[in-house]
Amino acid sequence: MKSLKIVSPNLAETQSIGEKLGQLAQPGDLFLLCGNLGAGKTTLTQGIARGLGSSDYAVSPTFVLMRELKGRLPLYHIDLYRLDRIEEISDLGLDDYLYGNGLCVIEWAEKGLTVLPPEHLLIKIDYLSDNGRSFEFIPQGKRYQKLFAQLKSLSAGN
């Protein structure tokens, strides 16, 4: 399987990576973010929102599970952190969001990989330093292979 690794030296670059993703997003896209606490999932999502043209500020939806931000596409920012059992995730009724006309970005997606749609862009985020992060993009499905190629060509231009 192909993957793309990008290192971000600071928060601004992390948001810039997210902004590129937001610009490439299409209705029905699903981005699954995996990484430890403080890895940069919400910072990346802030950039995605900006790339969608949203003036809303993305904050972690940990305590409400989902926040909707307005932009070129609706951004459904979902956080599975507080859920402990796979049954809780499958009982959330996320189908309207997952198969809707917006973009779903799910933080702590590793908790629900077995019940989430098999086609998605998996983004693994690792903490490198106070501001540095490593991102690994892994496309699953034809749509995400295309998005992956677009992202790869944008990254090569930097």
| Backbone phi, psi, residue 138, to 5° | -130, 110
Packed helices 11-24 and 41-51: angle between N→C axes, nearest 10 degrees = 50
pLDDT at 68: 85
Domain regions of the chain by residue span: 1-103
CA torsion, ordered 112, 117, 118, 119, to nearest 10 deg: -130
Q: What is the pLDDT of residues 67-80, one digit of tens each?
A: 888 999 999 998 88
Which whole number is the average pLDDT over 83-107? 79
Which whole number is the average pLDDT over 87-97? 72
Distance from the first to the final alpha carbon of the chain: 24
**126, 39 contact by CB (below 8 A):** yes
Look up the pTM and report it.
0.90
Band of the pLDDT at 62, cuts 50, 70, 90? low
Architecture of domain 1-103: 3-Layer(aba) Sandwich (3.40)
